[in-house]
A = this chain, B = another copy of it.
């Protein structure tokens, strides 16, 4: 998609200094931009780039006083950062809007309802008795099992697999390779040392505005539901086990694993590669540092923990600082013992 600088200024309610007829076709950072790019200058720490950038045009503030002439054309606006963000959103909308209709072959079971303006890619599969909202985009090779419910404007990317009975809200984004609703890892140890599968009869519920990153897996509940509440954002390759509940507006970074029946509060932040043991709960606004292993419930809101096993992050930092000096400490202790 190509636009003239004049068109962009009009969209943003800005004014052009330079060549309004020149056109741009991509957005780049001011320090990396090349010809054909549009950049922006918000933080004046980067002002020097304005005079050297190869961008075709730069969005700047009305208030900016130039120290030198610029090769790039300028688009003057009130708030360059907000304007740029708005452009990003328009750009994404424009891209998304193109996807509508049905590519064949695709499969749709019996007794499915699906709203207007949707997209179903080639080789996508929708089972029986599904209820799917409007403006939904189901990319190629995605799989939707029987009895699945999906809200409006949700996107299921290529090859995501949604097992039967899953419920997904509005405006959710499910990325490629995600598996939702696979049976929980439950086996009953028999007297002869073998394991027998415990049937997993529950489902997964995702509320509105939930994002799920590529190749993440969310298991269904043994009974009842594994629940991810409104606005929670989950990164790639995360594992959420059966009967896990994650609160609202919580962020879970890549490769984190949460064991069965653990409950995570609202507005929590779990960094990457964290492990949470089963059947514990984390209070709202808990922050867990990367690679931590959490083995006990956190009861106080706003707690920050780190380590494996995880405890107070400041105490953890101090302990790990001494850990490096342990050999030296042992030596000193031995010297003391000899002296006495």
Contact = CB atoms under 8 A, between A and B. Distances in A.
Contacts of A253: 185, 259
A119 interface: no
A194 interface: yes
A129 interface: no
Interface stretch (A65-73, A130-138, A272-280): A272-280
B257 A257 contact: no
A319 B326 CA distance: 5
A333 interface: yes
B273 A275 contact: yes
Contacts of A333: 329, 332-333, 336
Contacts of A215: 177, 179, 215, 217, 237
Interface in A99-145: 103, 105, 107, 121-123, 125, 139-141, 143, 145
Interface stretch (A3-11, A42-50, A56-64, A88-96): A88-96
User: Which of A173, A185, A339 has the most chain B CB within a 10 Å cutoff?
Assistant: A185
B140 A125 contact: yes
A28 interface: yes
A161 interface: yes
Nearest to A266: B193
A170 to B, nearest CB: 14
Contacts of A327: 315, 318-319, 321-322
A35 interface: no
A235 B197 CA distance: 13
Interface of A: 26-29, 32, 85, 88-89, 91-92, 103, 105, 107, 121-123, 125, 139-141, 143, 145, 157-159, 161, 163, 173, 175-177, 179, 182-183, 185, 187, 193-195, 197-199, 201, 209, 211, 213-215, 217, 219, 223-224, 231, 233, 235-237, 239, 241, 249, 251, 253-255, 257, 259, 266-267, 272-273, 275, 277, 290-291, 293, 308-309, 311, 315-316, 318-327, 329-330, 332-333, 336-337, 339-340
**Shortest beta-carbon contacts, A-B, top 7:** A88-B199, A161-B176, A179-B214, A322-B326, A143-B158, A182-B214, A107-B122
29 contacts: A28-B224, A29-B223, A89-B199, A91-B199, A92-B199, A103-B107, A123-B141, A141-B141, A143-B176, A157-B163, A159-B159, A176-B179, A176-B182, A179-B215, A185-B233, A194-B209, A195-B233, A195-B249, A236-B239, A239-B272, A255-B255, A259-B272, A290-B293, A316-B324, A319-B323, A319-B324, A323-B323, A333-B333, A339-B340
